[in-house]
Amino acid sequence: MKTARAAWRHLEPVHGMIYFVPEARRRYADLGLSGRSGYFASRSAAFGRASAELVISTFYNFNPDFVRRAVDGVWDATTPQHVLDARYAAAGEALRRAGIHKLPHLDEILTLTRRAAEAACEHAQGRPLFAAHAALPWPQEPVLQLWHAQTLLREFRGDGHVACLLSEGVGGLEALILHAATGDVPGDFLKASRAWPDEEWAGTRERLRERGLLDGDSLSSEGVLLRRHIEERTDRLALPAYAALGDADCERLAELAGLFGRAVVEAGLIRLA
């Protein structure tokens, strides 16, 4: 399980950079999408003309009012297919800027990642965001195939994570605050990027303290146990994709993933500020 988590985590920058790179913002702006409309439209376009309520339910931890404002009028300005085309074009441009296409072992990591992604497709039930992306055709270019494969693995894991949060009675804003309390990601970034007002953030944080999950702004011992349980359960739900590789190939994927993920980070494609 640890090796599967490492394979996903090390390669995640290859997918995650699409939410930060200027190539994506320019492409979405060309379609008439400004601000965060491009983010919500591009990630939900696999659903077709997704409503704000569908985005709220599947993206989980964004302020619903913010989502409604951002999604309003999106599908009057453009079409899901145009947005998908723009997203893939931006991903290819950014990854080539990072030199992904020149790295050794591209064919090998693509083969392994695609095998894992295709194995995940046999377990799509209950994973709506993953299933929508899994129905999209595979790109022809190797760099985009790698990006698409990691996108599938990210959404596969993400849908499982949402299921775990729901089963433990942890809402979207609560999940963000508990994440911030680990110190892994700045709370101010999570609050601003998901557009939660200060008063709602503060009120929910206080309720988490009353539940015994926070000690000040840090996780309490009970909060640590809950977070660990959710992460371990998420890992187990993501295992069907990586189990298909077998131990040796999963270890090889984790090894190669570090090389490709570092290339994205070192090229500056992911910035939190």
- Residue by residue, DSSP assigns 28-92 as HHHTT--TTHHHHHHHHGGGSS--HHHHHHHH-SS-HHHHHHHHTTHHHH--HHHHHHHHHHHHH
**Is the pLDDT confidence value at 272 over 80?**
no
Rounded to whole angstroms, the Cα distance separating 240 from 245 reads 9
Write the pLDDT tens digit of every residue in 196-253.
999 999 999 999 999 999 999 899 999 999 999 999 999 999 999 999 999 999 999 9
Whole-prediction pTM: 0.95
pLDDT single digits (tens) 125-162: 999 999 999 999 999 999 999 999 999 999 999 999 99
What's the pLDDT score for residue 1?
A: 77
Give the number of other Cβ atoms within 10 Å of residue 22's Cβ.
12
Lookup: tokens for 205: 């944080």
Model pLDDT, residue 253:
97
Mean pLDDT of the chain: 96
Q: Which of 152, 159, 192, 178 lies closest to 12, judged by CA? A: 152
Residue 109 burial (CB count, 10 A): 26
Question: Where do the structural domains in the chain lie, given as residue ranges?
Answer: 2-266
The pLDDT value recorded for residue 201 is 97
* % of the chain with per-residue pLDDT over 90: 96
- Summarize pLDDT for 38-97 with one digit per residue, the tens: 999 999 999 999 999 999 999 999 999 999 999 999 999 999 999 999 999 999 999 999
Segment 21-36 shows an average pLDDT of: 95
